[in-house]
Amino acid sequence: MRIDLDSFEEILLTITRNKTRSLLTAFGVFWGIFMLVALVGGGQGMQGMMKKNFEGFATNSGFLVSQNTGEPYKGFRKGRAWDLEIQDIERLRRSVKGIDVITPSTARWGMSAVYGDKKYDCSVKGLYPNYAIIETPKITFGRFINEVDIKEARKVCVIGKRVYETLFKKGDNPCGKFIRVNGIYYQIVGVNSSEGNMNIQGRASESVTLPYTTMQQAFNLGGRIEVICFTARKGVKVSELQPKMEEVIKAAHFIAPTDKQAIMCLNAEAMFSMVDSLFTGIRFLIWMVGIGTLLAGAIGVSNIMMVTVKERTIEIGIRRAIGARPKDILQQILSESIVLTTIAGMCGISFAVLVLQVLEIGVNSSGNDAHFQVSFWLAISTCALLAALGMLAGLAPAYRAMAIKPIEAIRDE
């Protein structure tokens, strides 16, 4: 349907003539589109912030931790303390075929990293290089732990973002410099800028990472480990591996096969899936509420246009009497409906974008990196939806206007 300049001016004149009614109609559409765009943008921003908590973590990862036993077994009492061992890594790698990467992790808290006259209270982690597959580091200076560091038990370390910001000036390259941790000097070989908000044995940003063998010697750990970290192969779920892994470890450490307490498994895959399901439901709810509000606005437009047609019965009758075709009447009413909804909708989109921008600036001022804005194509799609709703809203009033006959219009007068 084409709207020329003269027709557009006539439409605007008609809308202006019925200011109060037009404003009420426009507000319904404005509020509906504002709600839809603001909710979609807000939902996307919240989802992005939630995913930041899992930044860098493999979505198919799991973690095993030892706990006191919950049942007596083979002469051992209930509540016995036991430890995972470095040998458990090889046992699991040999016995459980669905494992892709498996590596130990250990940590100590309450340590202080000292450089010159500056100090930062941190945690110390002992890791193997393949841990980077499970929690991907974001290296800004230098490198991560490598196999030579492990083999030679080098006194080197990778420091976290917060540690770096406290001990060194912004922009300085700390690689090659030495920091003191627990009375031992370690040479810095890298800076990890990942936030690591999932917090497995301390946040990466607040940690000093050592080669596992170096930490083993420095803290006299022997063969004990605290966490077994692993990922599942493609097509295999962590929940499928968990029972097999627990079975192997329980058999090696004389733990009752039915003991549900002795081993705790953190299934990161299930957590990712839960978050995805949560936001899928939220997105569905947002679109239901937004489209419902838009439909309510469209119904309001249709009702107002119906009243407008009734009030303009004489005008429409006269136009029909002097030669206006039904198609002309149909085009006039539909044009008014589409123009009204489109103008109100564009104002609603603009206001929603403004509110989302203010929200984004406010959230990011506290150090976050959230994005609440909607995409360009979503805005275009919303405009197309508005035009379609405007046309639908004007159909019933337009057909009623087409049915008006000149003689009926004179009688109505």
pLDDT given at position 55:
66
Between 254 and 203, where is the model more confident?
254
What is the residue extent of each domain of the chain?
5-53+273-412, 108-217
pLDDT for the residue numbered 358: 85
What pLDDT score was predicted for residue 265?
A: 87
Q: Render pLDDT for 231-277 as a digit per residue (tens, 0 to 9).
A: 988 888 888 888 899 999 999 999 998 998 999 888 887 777 777 78
Q: Is 114 exposed, middle or buried (0-12, 13-18, 19+ CB in 10 A)?
A: middle
State the pLDDT at residue 113: 92
Residue pLDDT, tens place only, 13-32: 454 555 555 566 667 677 77
- Of residues 372 and 90, more confidently modeled: 90
Spell out where 184-262 has E strands. Answer: 184-192, 207-211, 224-225, 227-232
Confidence at residue 190, expressed as pLDDT on a 0 to 100 scale: 93
Tell me the per-residue pLDDT of 389-411, one tens digit each, with 9 for 90 and over.
Answer: 777 777 777 767 666 666 665 55
pLDDT mean across residues, the chain: 80
Q: Is the Cα dihedral 268, 273, 274, 276 positive or negative?
A: positive
pLDDT at 312: 67
Lowest-confidence segment of 68-72, 122-126, 278-282 by average pLDDT: 278-282
Cβ pair 301, 362 in contact under 8 A: no
| Positive/negative CA dihedral, 276, 281, 282, 287 | positive
The yes-or-no verdict on residue 61 having pLDDT over 50 is yes
pLDDT digits (tens, 9 = 90+) for 92-144: 999 888 899 999 999 998 889 999 889 999 899 999 999 988 888 889 999 99
Report yes or no: 33 and 381 within 8 Å, Cβ to Cβ.
Answer: no
The stretch 195-214 carries a mean pLDDT of 81
290 touches 385 (CB < 8 A):
no
pLDDT above 70 coverage of the chain, percent: 81
Rounded Cα distance, 381 and 387, in Å: 10
Residue 227 token pair? 């966490």
Quick check: 323 pLDDT over 60?
yes
- Is residue 309 scored above 80 in pLDDT? no
**Residue 149: is its pLDDT beyond 80?**
yes
Give the model's confidence band at 311: pLDDT under 50 very low, under 70 low, under 90 confident, else very high.
low
Mean pLDDT within 77-95: 90
What is each CA distance from 113 to 107, 120, 166, 181, in whole angstroms?
14, 5, 10, 5
Residue 2 above 60 pLDDT?
A: no
Helices marked H in 98-197 — which ranges?
A: 147-152, 161-167
